[in-house]
Each structure stands twice: as C-alpha cells, then as structure tokens.
Chain A
Amino acid sequence: MRYAFVSREVKAGLKRNLTMTMALIISVAVSLTLFGTALLLRAQVDRMKGYWYDKIEVSIFLCGNSSLAFTCTGTVTEDQRNAINAKLTGLAPTVQEVFYESSADAYERFKEQFEGSSILANVSPDALPESFRVKIDNPENFDQIASAVGTMQGVESVQDQRKLLERFFQILTGLQAFTLAIALAMLFVTVMLVMNTIRVAAFARRRETSIMRLVGANNSTIRLPFILEAVTSALVGATIASLGIIFAKAYLIDQKLAPNLTFIAFVNWTEVLLLLPWLFLAGIAISAGASSLTLRRYLKD
C-alpha cells in the first residue's frame, strides 16, 4: 500500500466530486451537532437532577389560624408541633435533618426573595405558615413521610418539592428525545448520502478500478481511496459539529444562559470536551461503514 498513491487518489476524488463532498460535510456536521446536543441535554438533565434533588426537601406546613384542612383546628398548638417534630425525628434514617421555620423566619426569607417588590406590603408574617423542612435520604421515600405525618393534627399539608421539578425535567427529557430523533433521522440521511456519493465515485472511476483489478491490486488498495474520501468528509463535518458545540457552550451557555439562570447548574467543560471524541468516532464509523458496504455492492471482488 502506498501512502502517496492513496492520498493523491483521495484528493482527486474529493475535488472531482465537490458538490457531493460539500453536501456530505454539511450533512455530517448537522447530524453530529444534533447528536451531540441530544447527549448534552441528557447530561444536563442528569446534572440538574443531582443538583436539585440534593437541595430539595419535604415541607410540612403547619396549620395557621385560617387553615381549612380537616387536620386543622386553628393555629397549630405547642403540643401538636412537638408531636410532629418527634414523629419526624423518629423516622431516621429516612429523615436526615429536621429544621423548624417559624412564620417570622418564613417572612424574612420571603422578604429577601421579593425585595423591592410591592407584594411585600400586602403580606404580613402571620399570612405565611410555619413549617418543618425535612431532608430525606432518598427522594423516593417521600411517601413514607407523607403517610406518617400527613394526617396528624396540626399539619396542614405535606409538599414534595421534587414533584414541581419533575414537570420541568419531563420537558427537558422530551426535548432531548426530540433532538435525538432528529439526530438519528439526519444520521440516516448521512448514511444514504455517503452511499450515494461512493456509488457515484465508484461509477466515475470504474475504468480505474477495473484496471486495478486486472493488474492484481489488492481489494484494500482499490477500496481505501473511496473509504478515505468519505471518512475525510466526515472528519471535516465532525470538526464543524465540534466547533458548533464548543461555541454553544462558550457563548450560549456560559455567556447568555448561566449569568441569568444562576439557580441552574449547566453542563461543564469536562462533559462537553469528553463528548467531542465520540462525535469524531461516530463520524468515522458511519462514513467508513456506509462506504465499505456500498463498495461491497458496487465493486466486484
């Protein structure tokens, strides 16, 4: 096998088939960008779950003077509060920590969150219920807490904050599935395009290949230029896709989204950079695979 010969053939082939080469590069770039985006979205969902589930607590709101729940008979009493606290503490190790937040504490927090907003003027400390905030070992064990204290006197409601986020994660997961579906469709298009490009190239060079077979060139010598042609296009496409994803991380996420959405943990550079080799591998595998398959059909042994 001669390096100079093969590289010359590849260059000539790419040039001769310029429009096809361009189409192939763009198709690979788009499909790999989408593919990478889908994978990063999944990483994003995983990361947010880890981040939020760590912070999320179960809130047990206690009765206030206007509570209507059937477990409430006016504001929670001292005894009721102690009983609830004892019950929660007794649920260790499921319950890891119990904080008590009085109406006054809740009002302080509320003030912080809505500083400068006119809503503050309409809210008084006793409008905000006192509560227990409970950290649990595993979000899945929420039901255990709800059934233990949910019906106790003095408990107005038990709220799993995780439920609120679940909806948000569903949207992200849906988005990820959608991106993945388009990516797969585009990868399919790419495979078709590789096959067609190689078929056209093999036809354009049928004189050369027939002479090669006649004089006893190895199959690898005959096929390698075609395969490398497809792989070269795929590598250029993968490079464009990688640059696109790096740009999305550096600009869209780091510059635009992250400063405004400080409560969200975004995918980090390690995750992004670890993804890129897989894009290249996918590009190589698809182009080499599809072209070998095509050559097996269009070039006789």
Chain B
Amino acid sequence: MIRFDQVTKQYPNSAAPALDDVTLEIADGEFVFLVGSSGSGKSSLIRLVLKEDTATSGTVEVDGVNIGELANREVPEFRRGMGVVFQDFRLLPNRTVYENIQFALEVIGAPDDEIEKRIPAVLELVGLDGKEHRFPNELSGGEQQRVALARAVVNRPKLLLCDEPTGNLDPTTSLGIMKLLDRINRTGTTIVMATHDHAMVDEMRKRTVEIANGRIIRDEQSGSYKMGDI
C-alpha cells in the first residue's frame, strides 16, 4: 500500500532533514504504529503520504502510484482514496455531525442518494447513531474524534492515516477509538497511526515503526512502544 524508497525530506529552513533516507514498506491491510518523540519525523512521513509535501529525494509510492509524478490536478482524486484523522479532530463547529460528514461527501461530488445511504451506516459503525444532529461542541472529545473518523472512512478508503488520534483523549476513551480503528482495519483498510500512547501500542501488539531524528531505528512485528518492553 505504501512504499518509501530512500526518502529524504529537507525543509528549507531547518538544518537537519525531517526524514533521512527512509525506506519502508507497508502492505495492504496492515496496521502500523508510528512511534517516536515529537519532531522525530512521524508527521512529516504522513504529510508525504498525503502529498501535502513532496520528498526532497527518493520515491514515495501509494497504492502502486509514484506520487512524486502526480500532477497537481491529480492530487484531489488521489486523496479520495485515503482518509485522515488528526489530534485536533478538524470538525466544522457550525455544522452538525451529519452535516460535517455530508460536507466531505458533497465537495467530492457524491450524489445525494449515496450521501443519504452512507451517513447513517458510517454513524452506526462509529457508534454515533442518534447523535447526527448534535453540534461538535455538544459532544465529548471521544465522540468528536468518532465524527472525524466517520468522515475519514465514509468514502471507504483503502488507507487510513491517523496523526495522534488519541492525543487529546483520556485512556478509556482512547481505547474505544482504538477498538474502532481495529474494527475498521479488519474490513481491509490499511491503517498507519502515529502516536505517543505507550499503553495503546503495548496493548495492541501491532507492527511498530520507531522514528528518531528522521531515521527508522526500529521496525518490529507485534512491537511495543519502547524497545525491549514487555
């Protein structure tokens, strides 16, 4: 699903590269934790996969497409194949749960009947049925992240990128989100999740890739947050 081949990302105004000669392969349907301290390069990696940024050198392939060769006008279509959630949810505060998801579908030109069918289904998946007419500020943090998740997966993406999705949530709520991600992963969606959440990583026993100073220093199947833990 994702293949990084000797990828380096150097931002114009920083001395050290954000990613330094990273080679990584993530297969279809995998669940991968991306761990590392703040500024280690996790978010840079996610931005490259999203084509928010372009690699300074090396190639990034997503779902068989070398995204370095993607023209600007092809990027929107490319992004429709993936979902993204962030630590800060990024919901529209003046729209209800339903409207937030509707907005994401409308702007990519989904037909009305499709929208009407998909939203109730995805709300049920994330466990928010019955709350479709609430506004984001009427929801708890965990519920808001569920809305963001619903919006990310309503288009049935092959790939779901999560940038510290539980960073603002308490452990119990985080676990709920984690279980939901696991459920989504089991339907065949590849998930890459950057996180600081030790307990979560240790509990889930999924593939763990650790980044430090822009380099991959560890890549373990059923890993833990810290090397040698457990």
Q: A residues touching B (Cβ–Cβ < 8 Å)?
A: 1-2, 5, 207-208, 210-219, 221-222, 301
CA distance A5 to B109 in the complex (A): 9
Asked if A215 contacts B109 (CB within 8 A), the reply is no
Total interface residues on B, CB under 8 Å, equals 22
16 A-B pairs within 8 Å (CB atoms) are namely: A2-B109, A207-B92, A211-B90, A211-B92, A213-B79, A214-B50, A214-B84, A215-B104, A215-B107, A216-B78, A216-B79, A216-B80, A218-B73, A218-B108, A218-B109, A301-B75
Establish whether residues A216 and B90, one from each chain, have CB atoms under 8 Å apart when the complex forms.
no
Is B187 an interface residue when CB atoms closer than 8 A count as contact?
no
In the complex, which of the residues A5, A207, A301 contacts B107, with contact meaning CB atoms closer than 8 Å? Answer: A5
Tally A-B pairs: CB < 8 A: 54
Residues of A within 8 A of B92 (CB): 207-208, 211
Interface string of B98-109 (1 = CB under 8 A from A): 000001101111
A211 lies within 8 A of B106 (CB): no
**B14 at the A interface (CB under 8 A):** no
Min CB distance, B122 to chain A, in Å? 13
Name B residues whose Cβ lies closer than 8 Å to a Cβ of A.
Answer: 50, 72-73, 75-81, 84, 90, 92-93, 103-104, 106-109, 151, 155
Nearest-CB residue, chain B, relative to A217 = B107
Distance to closest chain B CB from A4 (angstroms): 8
Given contacts A208-B92, A214-B84, contact A301 B104 (CB under 8 A): no
Apart from A2-B109, A214-B79, list 11 A-B contacts with CB within 8 A: A211-B104, A211-B107, A212-B107, A213-B76, A214-B84, A215-B80, A215-B151, A216-B108, A219-B72, A219-B76, A301-B72
Cα distance A301–B50 when bound, in Å?
13
Q: Give A12's nearest chain B residue, CB to CB.
A: B94
- A219 close to B77 (CB less than 8 A): no
Q: Are A208 and B103 in touch, CB under 8 angstroms?
A: yes
Question: Given known contacts A2-B106, A216-B108, is B90 in contact with A207 (CB within 8 Å)?
Answer: yes
Instruction: State which of B77, B81, B84, B107 has its C-beta within 8 Å of the C-beta of A221.
Output: B107
Chain B residues within an 8 Å CB radius of A219 = 72-73, 76
* Residue from the set A211, A212, A216 with the largest chain B CB neighbour count within 10 Å: A216
In angstroms, Cα B92 to Cα A247, docked, is: 47
A215 B90 Cβ-Cβ under 8 A: no
Residue of A nearest to B50 (CB): A214
| Set of chain B residues within 8 Å of A216, measured between Cβ atoms | 75-81, 108
Chain B residue at minimum C-beta to C-beta distance from A214: B84
- By a CB distance below 8 angstroms, the chain B residues around A210 are 90
Distance to closest chain A CB from B98 (angstroms) = 15
Closest partner residue, chain B, to A8 (CB atom): B106
Q: Please, how many angstroms separate the alpha-carbon atoms of A216 and B154 in the complex?
A: 13
**Which chain A residues border B75 with CB–CB below 8 Å?**
216, 301
**B90 CB contacts on chain A under 8 angstroms:** 207, 210-211, 214
Which residues of B lie under 8 Å from residue A218 when comparing CB positions? 73, 76, 108-109
